[in-house]
Amino acid sequence: MAPGKQRKRQFEASDSSPLGSAVLQRDEDIIEMVRGALDRRDVLLAFQPIVRATDHRKAAFYEGLIRVLDDTGRVIPAREFISACETHEIGRIIDCLALEMGLTALHQAPSLRLAINMSARSIGYPRWMQTLERGLAMEPTLAERLIIEITEASAMVMPDITSVFMLDLQTRGVAFALDDFGAGYTAFRYFKDFFFDILKIDGQFVRGVSRDPDNRMLVEAMVSIARHFDMFTVAEFVENAEDAAVLSEIGVDCLQGYHFGAPTTSPGWREFPQGMRRAG
């Protein structure tokens, strides 16, 4: 048998293995759970503060993190469902709902600056752009208070389309953050084509940075890259004072993590009707 055919047979066999079948079934179950939540309108945003490294007392801005409720009412964070939904249309719907709720929050809290996540795969999804246009029409300052976060992996899927999309919205005041930087196969050449305003350093390099000289060196390199390209830096998953102090010393601009506040669906800065969840 030719080597190519043999590899194909092996791939097909592994795909139909008990483990492969279990993974597929798990993803199908997750998608079904999320679809049920959308049908019941059990979707909301949790808000996590992002503070300046030089002043932890007040949030510089917040990140709106989408949550769904399963049929028992348990709140499910995005990390438990987003990867299974990413390449399906349901992922595009999730992006639309996150944007819709984020824009509503910005409209109802005039002093708020908020980051909302999206996949680059949603750029060509008509409903997403329609949602954005309706939201920006609510108030003239809203665009300047909106930050759109796109993961590094997502941006690299379609770099040309993403860069054009970003430039168009940046001329209207919207800022962009490159999320989870360093989590994937970083293509540094794209920094010449993408004009991100904010670089968010992935948590794997942040956790324990005060005790890990390798992570410290990598974070220093990322901060240097960000400065060269005039990007603001945010360290994700900051969980203790020691790491926060080292990150401040390195020169990271802002810090995000449980040390400064967990995501909450009832933020202290403003009470307003949350998400799409049905009454009662």
The residue that leads in pLDDT, 203 or 277, is: 203
Is the predicted pLDDT of residue 190 greater than 50, yes or no?
yes
Asked whether residue 233 is assigned to any structural domain, the reply reads: yes
Q: Are strands 198-201 and 146-151 parallel, antiparallel or unpaired?
A: unpaired
Q: Which token pair is 198?
A: 């904010």
119: in domain: yes
Residue 253 has pLDDT above 80, yes or no: yes
Q: Which residue type occupies 51? A: V
- In the numeric block, which tokens belong to residue 274? 């949350």
Residue 49 falls in which region: left (phi positive, over 0), alpha (psi -120 to 50) or beta: beta
71 belongs to a structural domain: yes
Is residue 192, in this structure, part of any structural domain at all? yes
The range of the structural domain enclosing residue 218 comes to: 42-256
Distance CA(14)–CA(26), nearest Å, equals 16
Task: Please report whether residue 35 resides in a domain.
Answer: no
Query: Above 60 in pLDDT, residue 5?
Result: no
For residue 76 the two structure tokens come to 């499910």
Among 74-78, 81-85, 204-208, name the most confident range. Answer: 204-208
The stretches of the chain forming alpha helices (DSSP H) are 3-15, 18-40, 82-85, 89-108, 126-136, 152-157, 159-170, 203-206, 213-228, 241-250
Tell me how far apart the alpha carbons of residues 96 and 144 are, in angstroms, rounded to a whole number. Answer: 19
Q: Which of 85-99, 156-170, 186-200, 236-250 has the lowest mean pLDDT?
A: 186-200
Report the percent of the chain where pLDDT is more than 70. Answer: 85
CATH code of the domain covering residue 134: 3.20.20.450
276 found inside a domain: no
In a domain, 279, yes or no: no
> Is residue 266 included in any domain, yes or no?
no
How confident is residue 24, by pLDDT bands cut at 50, 70 and 90?
A: confident
pLDDT at residue number 9: 44
In this structure, the strands spanning 55-69 and 114-118 are: parallel
Query: Left (φ > 0), alpha (ψ -120 to 50) or beta: where does 116 sit?
Result: beta
Reported as a single tens digit per residue, the pLDDT across 33-59 is 999 998 888 999 999 999 999 999 889
CB-CB contact of 201 with 181 (8 Å): yes
Count how many domains the chain has. Answer: 1
pLDDT digits (tens, 9 = 90+) for 115-142: 999 999 999 999 999 999 999 998 889 9
Q: Look-up: residue for tokens 């438990």?
A: 80
**What value does the mean pLDDT of the chain take?**
87
DSSP state for residue 224 in the 8-state scheme: H
Q: Give the whole-angstrom CA distance, residue 256 versus residue 37.
A: 28
